[in-house]
Every structure is written in structure tokens, then in C-alpha cells.
A = this chain, B = another copy of it.
Amino acid sequence: MPFRPFENQNCSIARAAEIFTERWTMLILRELFLGRQRFSEIKRNTGVASNILSDRLQVLVDQGIVVRVEEDADGQSVERYVPTKKGIDAQPILLAMLSWGDKYAAPDGPPRVLYHEDCGHEIHAKVVCDHCGGDLKAGNTRLRPGPGANRRQKSAGEFLPHR
């Protein structure tokens, strides 16, 4: 019986959080994006218990975030869990955590640095406006009720994301 503490919130953050803030899930996705996509690799590299890993992978498969594929590598059949487009689109969440962790929780400097193939440079992920390309910062964004807002959200009107 799955538990859905956020289910009656009409909120995209809540709905994403419901999946991605389950314990171990971000670490599992890190492994998948690093190309370590086999059950035993994930288990070894994260330290997650096998029953939990089994459960989390099942959730990700059920949500269409990863698919379980059986490949044939030199005569042996191996299982891989590979991210779908829906999963790949969650990479910004990982990158945002990576950036924050590098800045605030890496006493000896970043354990890993990210390189951008297109320009060859070491990068730090940055969140911008997809329309004008300008920085998105605490002070320069507003939230307004959208098409999917419920009555309460509509009447609440506009918010500043931060004050």
C-alpha cells in the first residue's frame, strides 16, 4: 500500500517531490545517469538495500521514468534500467542538487566537475528564463494561477516566490 502524503495538493512541486524525494531515488537516478544501470552496480555504488532498490526501481518503471531492458552482451543476457525521456527530463533536478552540494557541502572542493561538450568548459548548472535567457533569481520571478489552478489558488492571485 503506497503512501501519498502530497496527493491532494494541486501543485507541480508536490507531485514531482512525491516521486523524487523518496529515500534513495535521487542516488539511484545519479547511478543511471552515470551509466551504471544494472541492479548490482546500483546496489554496490549507493549502498541501498536490495528490497528497497527493488521497490524504487519498480516505482520508476511504473511512472515511465525508466524502462527495464534485457540486453544481450556477449552471449549473456543482462538487465539494464535506462531512463526514458521523462526520466532524462528530470536531470535538471539532479544538476540543481549537484550545484548546491558543490557550493555548500563540498569541503575539499567538488568531488566531480561537470564539463560541457559543446563548449569544452567546466560548468556550473544555472537556471534561466527560457524566453529571454536572463537569470532566474529569488527577486525577479512571480507565480500566477495557471490553467490548472483550483478555485482557492485562483482567488489567491499572484504571489512573489520570495520576500
A117, B140: Cβ atoms under 8 Å? yes
How many copies altogether? 2
A96, B98: Cβ atoms under 8 Å? no
A129, B140: Cβ atoms under 8 Å? no
What does the 1/0 interface line of A1-43 toward B look like (CB < 8 Å)? 0000110111111111100111111110010111100000000
B102, A92: Cβ atoms under 8 Å? no
Q: Label chain A's interface by main secondary structure.
A: mixed
* Total count of chain A residues near the partner, CB < 8 A: 96
Q: Is A72 an interface residue (CB 8 A)?
A: no
Interface core residue of A103, A104, A142 (most chain B CB under 10 Å) = A104
Chain A stretch 94-114: residues in CB contact (< 8 A) with chain B: 94-114
Partner of A86, one of B34, B104, B159: B104
Binding site for B on A (CB under 8 A): 5-6, 8-17, 20-27, 30, 32-35, 46-47, 83, 86, 88-119, 121-134, 136-150, 153, 159-163
